[in-house]
Chains A and B, each alone.
Chain A
Amino acid sequence: MTILGTSGLVLNEKLLFEHSKPGRKGYSLPKLDVPAAKLPAELCREEINGFPELSEVDVVRHFTRLSTWNYGVDSGFYPLGSCTMKYNPKVNEAAARLPGLANVHPATPPHLAQGILELMYRLQVALAEVSGFAKVTLQPAAGAQGELTGMLVIRAWHEARGSKRSKVLIPDTAHGTNPATATLAGYDVVPIASQGVLTLEEVEAHMDDDVAALMVTNPNTLGLFETNIEAICKLVHERGGMVYCDGANLNALMGIARPGDMGIDVMHFNLHKTFSTPHGGGGPGAGPVGVTEQLSPYLPAAGVERDGDRYRFEPEKTDSIGRLMTFHGNVGIMVRAFAYARTLGGSGLKHASQMAVLNANYVRARLEGVYDLPYKRRSLHEVIFSDKDLPGGCHTLDVAKRLIDYGYHPPTIYFPLVVKGAIMIEPTETESQDVLDEFCDAMIAIAGEARDNPDLLHQAPVRSRVRRLDETTAARKPKLRWEANP
C-alpha cells in the first residue's frame, strides 16, 4: 500500500507581526487629487499599535507558506461526516468573480441589477424543485442561521394563531446547532433519546399541546433514513405542531425523495455542502430555507419575484419574521450554487446523490468487521463506525490522528454523541473507487497497527507540520492574540 502522507519540505513561518519592520509598505494608492482634510484632533487616534508593516513579497510568502500547512479537498480525501466535503468546481469560482456579479453594490436599484436578481430567482426555483417546498428564501448566511430563520417562521405561524407553545422536540442525534437555535427562538428544548431511527411512539410520548415543533435531520446523523417520517409528520401536525428538517444531509436524496413531499414544513439547505460551494476554512456558506405554502408569508423580507421578464424584490410582507442579514445574503455563494445546479441539471443531481450513497455503502462494506458498526440498517450518504473493538488502548482520536500520517483528513469524530467513540465517514460522490480503496486499506492497516504496535497510533501524527497540540493549556490560559510585550 502506498502511504500518501510524507514529510516533504514544509517551511516554517513566523507570525505576520514578527516580520514587521517600520517603513515597509505592501500597497500603493494614487496620489491624493483633492486638498487634504483634517478631523478635530480629539477624534483622531495615534498610529494603530502593533499593526504590521510588510512588503508585498513578505505577505505573499507568509500566506503561501501558511496555506501549505492546511489540508483541503483539493489536497485529498476529506471524509468529514455531515459536512459533505465534495469537490468544489473551479468554474464556479470563475463565475463568482465575473465583474458583473462580483462588483455589484447591494444598494444598486433593482432595475440595474436584473442579471443578479434573475440568477437569485432561478436559484430559488431550483431549490424549491429539489426539496419539494413552495417557497425558498436565500438570505441566511449559513445552516445555523437558516435554522434560526426556520424556527422563527414556525414561531410566527404559531403566534399568528394565538398559540403560545413553548417546547421543541429534538432527537439526541441532532447537530448542536438545533438545540442552540431552538433556544435562540425562545423555546425550551426537549431531547428525545433515539434508537437509531425515530419511532412514532417516541414522538407520540413527547408530543403534547405545548410542543411547537419537532426538529429532525433526514437522513439523520447516523446516515439512516427516518423511515417513519410520514407518520411522524402526520402526528405532529394532528397535534398542532410543525416539523423542521435540518437539511445538512440532503446530498443523499436529490432526485430520490423530497422533504416537502414527506410532510416536513421547513428545511434549510447548506449550499456549501449539497451544492458544492467551498467551505473556505469555516465559511462563508449559505443556508437558504424552504417552506410550505402556508408558512411562506412569514419568510424573511425581500425574496426575489418575477414579473413577466423583469425581476424585483417582493413588497414588504406584514407577517414576515424580518431580516437576518444586512443585505441579500451570501450572493457570491448563490452564484456558485447556481453554476453547480446548471452544470449538473436534474439528472446530474440525482446521479450525484446515487454515487454519494454508493460510496458510503462501499466504504461500509469494506470496513464492516474491521471496525464496530453500531447501526446495521442500510446507510445512505454516510456511515458511522465506533472504536468499541479497537485493541491496544486505542481510541477514535488515535485512529483519526493516524489517518493524518497516511495522508487523509480524518472523518468527523465523537459525533453523533449517541455513539461512543463515533467515526463518521461521508465520502461524497466525487471520490473514485480507487481513492476509497486506498482509504479503506489505510483504515484496515491502522486497525492492524492498533493490535500490533498501538504506539504508532498514540504518537500520531508524526508526519504533519505540528504534532498533537496541548488543548488543555490553550483553554486554561487562553492566548488569543499576539502582543509585542506580553
Chain B
Amino acid sequence: MRYIPHTAGDVSEMLERIGVKNLEELFVEVPDSVRLKRPLDLPEPLSETELLSELKSLAVKNATPGTHKCFLGGGAYHHFIPTVIDLLVSRGEFYTAYTPYQPEISQGTLQAIFEFQTMICQLTGMEVANASMYDGASACAEAVLMAVRLTRRKRVLLSRALNPRYREVVATYCSYLGLELVEVAVAADGRTDLGDLAAKLDATTAAVVAGYPNYFGVIEDVATLVERAHAAGAKLVTVVSEPVALGVLKSPGELGADIVAGEGQSLGLPLAYGGPYVGFFAVRQKDLRAMPGRLVGETTDLDGQRGFVLTLSTREQHIRREKATSNICSNQGLCALVTTIFMSLLGKQGLREMAEQNLAKAAYARQQLSGAKGFSLVFDGPMFNEFVVRSEAPAAEVLRRLEAEGFLAGIPLGGDYPELADCFLVCVTEQNRREEIDALVTALQGGAA
C-alpha cells in the first residue's frame, strides 16, 4: 500500500519494542464480543489507473456547463474562475495543514484569513467578519441564533422570498430552541411585502431575515427593512447568496444591516454539486462577542514583528463547551482562501466589471424573453442576474424539452412555491454568451409555437 510505509521488518521490530507478539495483541482492550469476525464487505482495492478510470466513467454521466448551456442559479452560480486560484490552493502547505492552533508555523493561513475577514468587511460594509461558516444556509441559521442571543427574543420573521433551502436550514437549527419562525409574504414586485411585515413585526421579534438579492433575483429595499426592524427593536439579517452583486449594489452595512450572512461560492469556487462552498458572516463591532466562529487577530511576536493569531476563543466550543456561541469547529478554511485569492485578483475594478456584466446579460435575457411567445416575466422589482419566468405550458415539461436540446434552462419553482407552479428561475452570468441567450430564447419558443 503506497500510503503506508511499513515493511514487514519494521512491523516486527516495532512490535518487539512495544513488547507484544503480534498486531492482534494491540487490540486486547477491544472485547471479543464486539469484534468484527469477517473482512469488511467492500470492493477490492484499485490501482491508481483503475481508480481514475472508474471515476472518469462516473464523471461523464453528469451534465455540466461544459456539456449543456447552463442557466441554473438559485444559490449556486456559474462564474469565471481564474486559473491562478487552483494552482495556489494546491500548494500542500495550504491544503494539508489544519486549523492554525500553532501560530508560529501557521502564519500563511492566519494572514490569509485576516485578509479574508478584511475583504468580507469591505464587500459587505460591515465591521467584523469571522473566518468562515459552512455555507450560506448554515451561516443564515447562525445569524438567526445570534440575533436571538442579542435581543433575548424568540420570534423570527423570514421573508418568503428568502431561498427556501435557507429557510429549511434555519428551521432545522432552531428545532428545539423554542423559537417561533414566521414567514413574511412576497409583494407583486418580488420583494418582501412591507404590509405583511408590519402586521407580523412586534416587540417580541428578534430578527427580520431577507435575501439581497432574494431567491427571485430581486433586490430588496434593505434600508426600509432596516428601518422597520429597528423600530420594533429587532435585528435585520441580510442574506447574500450571490456576492458578485455586491460589486454594484450598495453594501448591506451602508444600508444599516445588523448581521450579514452569505454564501461565498460565487467568488471562485467550482459548482461541485453543491459543495464544498463557504459561508461568510459579518457583524457590527459592538456585537463582536456574541458572534459564532473563529476569528483571526493581528498582534506582534516577541521581537515586535507583525503576526496573526486565533483570538477571542472564549466564545468558542473548545473553551466554553456548552456555553459557546456555536458548536462550529472545522469551518471551510480552504474555500475561504479560494475566495480571498479570487477577490484579490478581481479587485476593485474586476468585481464591479463582473457584476455589471451579469446585470447587463440578465437584463438582455429578460428583454429578449419579455417578447417571447408563451412566456412572461413574473416580478417587476429591480433585479441582478436572476429572474422568474412564467410559462403557458407546464414548467416541468418546458424544462425537460430544453434538456433534450442541451439546455439547463432553469429551476422549477412549483415545489417550493405552489403559487408559482408554472414558473422557473433563470440565471444569466458573465459566462453566458449572447448567442447562448439568444439560443435559449429561440428554443423556449420552439415548443410554445
Contact = CB atoms under 8 A, between A and B. Distances in A.
By Cβ-Cβ distance, the 3 closest A-B pairs, closest first, are: A327-B274, A100-B59, A74-B92
Contact of B297 (A37, A129, A182, A475): A475
Contacts of A44: 248-250
Contacts of A9: none
B169 A66 contact: no
Contact of A70 (B94, B122, B331): B94
Nearest to B348: A51
A107 B111 contact: no
Interface in A170-185: 175-177, 179-185
A47 B352 contact: yes
A161 to B, nearest CB: 15
Given A59-B84, A75-B93, A104-B273, A482 B115 contact: yes
Contact of A53 (B4, B254, B349): B349
A331 B274 contact: yes
A349 B42 contact: yes
Contacts of B270: 102-103, 332
Given A113-B61, A283-B334, 10 more contacts: A15-B118, A27-B345, A51-B122, A51-B351, A59-B84, A63-B112, A103-B270, A175-B329, A281-B109, A352-B1
17 contacts: A27-B350, A45-B246, A60-B84, A63-B94, A99-B59, A101-B59, A108-B408, A116-B58, A253-B30, A279-B330, A280-B337, A283-B335, A327-B75, A342-B45, A467-B302, A475-B314, A482-B114
Interface string A396-422: 000011001000011010010000000
Contacts of A429: 3-4, 6
A68 B93 contact: yes
Contacts of B175: 152, 155-156, 185-186, 321-322
B248 A70 contact: no
A478 to B, nearest CB: 5
Contacts of B93: 67-72, 74-75
A473 B110 CA distance: 16
Interface string A94-120: 111111111111111100111110110
A423 interface: no
A281 B364 contact: no
A91 interface: yes
Given A224-B29, A431-B5, A474-B311, A27 B129 contact: no
B411 interface: yes
Given A56-B345, A342-B45, A67 B6 contact: no
Contact of B271 (A106, A142, A186, A361): A106
B95 A256 contact: no
A352 B430 contact: no
A433 interface: yes
Nearest to B86: A97
B401 to A, nearest CB: 13
Contacts of A377: 29
A101 B134 contact: no
A262 interface: yes
B277 interface: yes
Interface centre among A108, A358, A470, A473 (most CB of B within 10 A): A108
Interface string B1-42: 101111000110111011110010011111101111001111
B343 A51 contact: yes
Contacts of B13: 433
Contacts of B254: 45
A349 B78 CA distance: 37
B219 A39 contact: yes
A339 B40 contact: no
A229 B98 CA distance: 31
B36 to A, nearest CB: 6
Interface size of A as a range: 35 or more
A174 B434 CA distance: 57
B104 A67 contact: no
A39 B353 contact: no
A12 to B, nearest CB: 9
Interface stretch (B160-168, B203-211, B441-449): B160-168
A348 B1 contact: yes
Contacts of B192: none
A103 B288 contact: no
Contacts of A364: 18
B329 A34 contact: no
A323 interface: yes
A466 interface: yes
Nearest to B105: A71
Interface centre among B59, B319, B363 (most CB of A within 10 A): B59
B91 A67 contact: yes
Contacts of A119: 55, 58
A346 B39 contact: yes
A438 B2 CA distance: 21
Nearest to A282: B333
Given A34-B364, A39-B219, A186-B178, A59 B63 contact: no
Interface in B251-292: 251, 254, 263, 270-278, 288
A317 B382 CA distance: 37
B327 A184 contact: yes
Given A51-B122, A464-B104, A475-B312, A325 B138 contact: yes
Interface in A270-299: 272, 276, 278-285
Contacts of B236: none
Nearest to A468: B302
Given A102-B270, A342-B51, A474-B297, A64 B91 contact: yes
A431 B136 CA distance: 37
Contact of B58 (A87, A118, A278): A118
Interface centre among A106, A109, A148, A285 (most CB of B within 10 A): A106
A99 B78 CA distance: 13
Given A37-B364, A469-B104, A327 B248 contact: no
A3 B18 CA distance: 25
